[in-house]
C-alpha cells in the first residue's frame, strides 16, 4: 500500500527538509505550473526557479541565452521579458532559451522540493500524464498545492482531488487521511461528471475561484479558459538539480547517448 499525502498550501511546508527524499508533485493551476508546462512543451530549454526578483536577475546576469519571467500581483515584473500567462510562451519567443522564473507561490513550492527524491509539475493541462506517472511509480507520493499567498486555494485542491480519485478508480491501493479525503470530495463535486474529468466544470470552478476572479479583474480571463483545458499538454516537467526540463526530453537524450555508446 502506498501513502498519498496532500499539503493544501505550500506554507505548511516548514523547511527544505520537509520534502527530503519524497516523491513530490507540485500543483499551481493558476498559473505557474500551467505556464511552465506550456513553455517547456513549446521548446524552452529549461526553467530555473528563483525565490526573489533579485535572485532571478542575478542568475540571468551574464547569460545571453536566458529570459526573465514571472509575476507579482499576477502582472509582469518590471524589467522582466515575460509575465506568467501561458499565452505569452510562444515557440518563436522561447525556443531553446533558459527561462529564469520567479512567481508569488508556484516557484516557492518548487524550491521547497529541492531535496526531494523526485519532483514533477502538474496542472489540468497534463493531468492524465501525471496520474499515469504516479501509478507507475508504485511509491508514496506527496501532492503540494501551492495555494495563494500562503492560504488555501480551491483550484489546486480540486486538481489534487482528481488525482486521488483517479488513483482509487485505477485500484491503486492507497492510504489517505483527512486533507486527502477533503480534496478528493472537492475534486469529485467540482470537476468530475459521472466519473469523467470535465473541462467545462473546471472552467466554472476557476471562474468562481478567488484567484480566478482576481486574474479576470486584471485582464487575464483568457488564461482561465486556457488553464481549464484538460490534457492539452501531455508532458511531465521534472525538477532536477535546480532546473526543470521535460522528462520526455531527458529520456530521449539518455537513449540517444546509450545508442551512441553502443555504436562506438
Ligand atoms: C503564482 O505562482 O503565484 C501564480 O501562478 C501567480 C499568478 O500567475 O497569478
**Probe ligand 1: pick from 56, 70, 84, 85, max atoms within 8 Å of CB?**
84
Q: Is the CB of 83 under 6 A from ligand 1?
A: no
Return the closest-CA partner of residue 84 out of 96, 95, 98, 68: 68
Stated pTM of the model = 0.96
Percent of the chain with pLDDT over 70: 100
pLDDT band, residue 93 (cuts 50/70/90): very high
- What atom in ligand 1 is closest to the CA of residue 73? 9
**pLDDT at position 255, please?**
85
Q: Grid coordinates in use for 80? A: 522582466
**Probe ligand 1: pick from 9, 31, 123, max atoms within 8 Å of CB?**
31
Q: Is the CB of 33 under 6 A from ligand 1?
A: no
Q: Grid coordinates in use for 106? A: 508556484
**pLDDT at position 63, please?**
86
**pLDDT at position 254, please?**
86
Residue nearest to atom 8 of ligand 1 (CA): 31
Query: What's the rounded mean pLDDT across residues 51-56?
Result: 98
Asked whether the predicted pLDDT for residue 1 surpasses 80, the reply is no
Could you give the CA distance from residue 123 to residue 118 in angstroms, rounded to a whole number? 17
**Unique residue bearing C-alpha cell 506517472:** 133
Q: Is the CB of 49 under 6 A from ligand 1?
A: no
Query: What's the rounded mean pLDDT across residues 233-241?
Result: 97
Least confident of 21-35, 152-166, 200-214, 239-253: 239-253
Q: Is the CB of 148 under 6 A from ligand 1?
A: no
131-176: pLDDT as tens digits:
999 999 999 999 999 999 989 999 999 999 999 999 999 998 898 9
- What atom in ligand 1 is closest to the CA of residue 84? 8
Return the closest-CA partner of residue 121 out of 233, 31, 18, 237: 237
**pLDDT at position 201, please?**
98
pLDDT band, residue 256 (cuts 50/70/90): confident
Q: Is the CB of 86 under 6 A from ligand 1?
A: no
85 phi and psi, to 5 degrees? -90, 130
Distance 259 CA to ligand 1 centre (A): 41
Amino acid at each position: 500500500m502506498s501513502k498519498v499525502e496532500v499539503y493544501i498550501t505550500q506554507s505548511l511546508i516548514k523547511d527544505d527538509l520537509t520534502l527530503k527524499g519524497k516523491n513530490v508533485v507540485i500543483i499551481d493551476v493558476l498559473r505557474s505550473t500551467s505556464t511552465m508546462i506550456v513553455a517547456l512543451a513549446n521548446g524552452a530549454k529549461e526553467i530555473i526557479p528563483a525565490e526573489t526578483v533579485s535572485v532571478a536577475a542575478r542568475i540571468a546576469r551574464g547569460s545571453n541565452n536566458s529570459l526573465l519571467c514571472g509575476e507579482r500581483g499576477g502582472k509582469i515584473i518590471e524589467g522582466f521579458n515575460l509575465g506568467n500567462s501561458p499565452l505569452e510562451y510562444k515557440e518563436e519567443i522561447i525556443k531553446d532559451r533558459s527561462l529564469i522564473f520567479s512567481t508569488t507561490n508556484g516557484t516557492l513550492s518548487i524550491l521547497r522540493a529541492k531535496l526531494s527524491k523526485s519532483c514533477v509539475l502538474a496542472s489540468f493541462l497534463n493531468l492524465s500524464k501525471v496520474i499515469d506517472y504516479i501509478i507507475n511509480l508504485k511509491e508514496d507520493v506527496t501532492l503540494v498545492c501551492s495555494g495563494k499567498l500562503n492560504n488555501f486555494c480551491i483550484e489546486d485542491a480540486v486538481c489534487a482531488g482528481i488525482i486521488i480519485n483517479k488513483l482509487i478508480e485505477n485500484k491503486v491501493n492507497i492510504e489517505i487521511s483527512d486533507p486527502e479525503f477533503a480534496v478528493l470530495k472537492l475534486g469529485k463535486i467540482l470537476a468530475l461528471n459521472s466519473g469523467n474529468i470535465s473541462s467545462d466544470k473546471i472552467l466554472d470552478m476557476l471562474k468562481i475561484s478567488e484567484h480566478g476572479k482576481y486574474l479576470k479583474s486584471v485582464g487575464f480571463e483568457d488564461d482561465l479558459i486556457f488553464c481549464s483545458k484538460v490534457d492539452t499538454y501531455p508532458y511531465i516537467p521534472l525538477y532536477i538539480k535546480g532546473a526543470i526540463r521535460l522528462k520526455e526530453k531527458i529520456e530521449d537524450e539518455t537513449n540517444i547517448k546509450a545508442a551512441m555508446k553502443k555504436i562506438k
